Every structure is written in structure tokens, then in C-alpha cells.
Amino acid sequence: MATWQCVKNCGACCQLSPSDRPELADYLSADDLAGYLSMVGADGWCIHYDQITRECTIYETRPSFCRVTAETFQAMFDIEPEALDEFAIDCCQQQIAGVYGDDSLEMSRFNQAIAEPQIDS
Ligand code: SF4
Ligand code: SF4
């Protein structure tokens, strides 16, 4: 079974345009929704996202809704821990397709990464 992982130089999930995420209020608390909306830049990208390096500039203190953990996904989407990989992979693929396209390099790199055996560090 594929194991979810984030790939460097993607950043698709940091494109936050609310128009592309009509169900935000269904899974974010009122406080988190307000925090989310406060991060949306004029071009839809998160104001904390460096579009040159494709990195989060507040990575260590990023909000909980930016973190792919069993706890956050259970809280937001009612996903059981054993279903996290499949659900998170689907989320990433949807977001990457929407931002970069189905045939993008980013999609290829993501699909390759999740297909590779994981090495514990
Ligand atoms: S869409 Fe997925 S792979 Fe891309 S930056 Fe976000 S979490 Fe990482
Ligand atoms: S806070 Fe960081 S991880 Fe979250 S959307 Fe913004 S740039 Fe991406």
C-alpha cells in the first residue's frame, strides 16, 4: 500500500483560494477558518509561502490544519488513523491536479515518491 509523504518543491496545498475549497467551513472551526482566511494572499497563495523556494516560511509554527497527522485529519475529516495514507494521498493528488495539472512534473514526482518504499530515519 502506498504511504503518504510530502515532496519538496511542490507547495500545491499552500494555494489556498477559498473558491477552490467550498467546504472549508465544514471541517475548520470558526477560529481556524478565520486564521485560514487571514493567510490568503491576493493571488490565492498563502502569505507565508515563498513562491521562489516553494517552502513554508513559518514551517515550525504553521497552523494545525497545515499538518498531516492522524490527530488533525481525524479532527477535521473524521478519518481513522489507518485510513490516513489513502485519504492524504487523495487530497494531495486533487490539490496538485488543480494547481499544476494531472500531467505535471509535480504530480509525477508525488506519485513516484509515494510508490517508493519508506526508509525509517
Ligand atoms: S500537496 Fe501534498 S505533496 Fe504537495 S506540498 Fe502539499 S502536502 Fe506536500
Ligand atoms: S502556513 Fe505554511 S504550510 Fe500552511 S499554507 Fe501557509 S505556507 Fe503552506
pLDDT per residue over 89-117, tens digit each? 999 999 999 999 999 999 999 999 999 77
Three-class SS state of 35: helix
How far away, in angstroms, is 51 Cα from ligand 1 center? Answer: 14
How many CB atoms are located within 10 Å of the residue 16 CB? 19
Residue 116: the pLDDT is 78
pLDDT of residue 19 exceeding 80: yes
Residue 1: the pLDDT is 74
pLDDT per residue over 66-81, tens digit each? 999 999 999 999 999 9
How far away, in angstroms, is 62 Cα from ligand 2 center? Answer: 6
Tell me which residue has its CA closest to atom 8 in ligand 1: 6
Amino acid at 74: Q
pLDDT of residue 121 exceeding 60: no
pTM for the model stands at: 0.93
Residue 118: the pLDDT is 63
Give the residue-averaged pLDDT of 39-46.
Answer: 98
Tell me which residue has its CA closest to atom 3 in ligand 1: 6
Mean pLDDT of the chain: 95
Residue 119: the pLDDT is 62
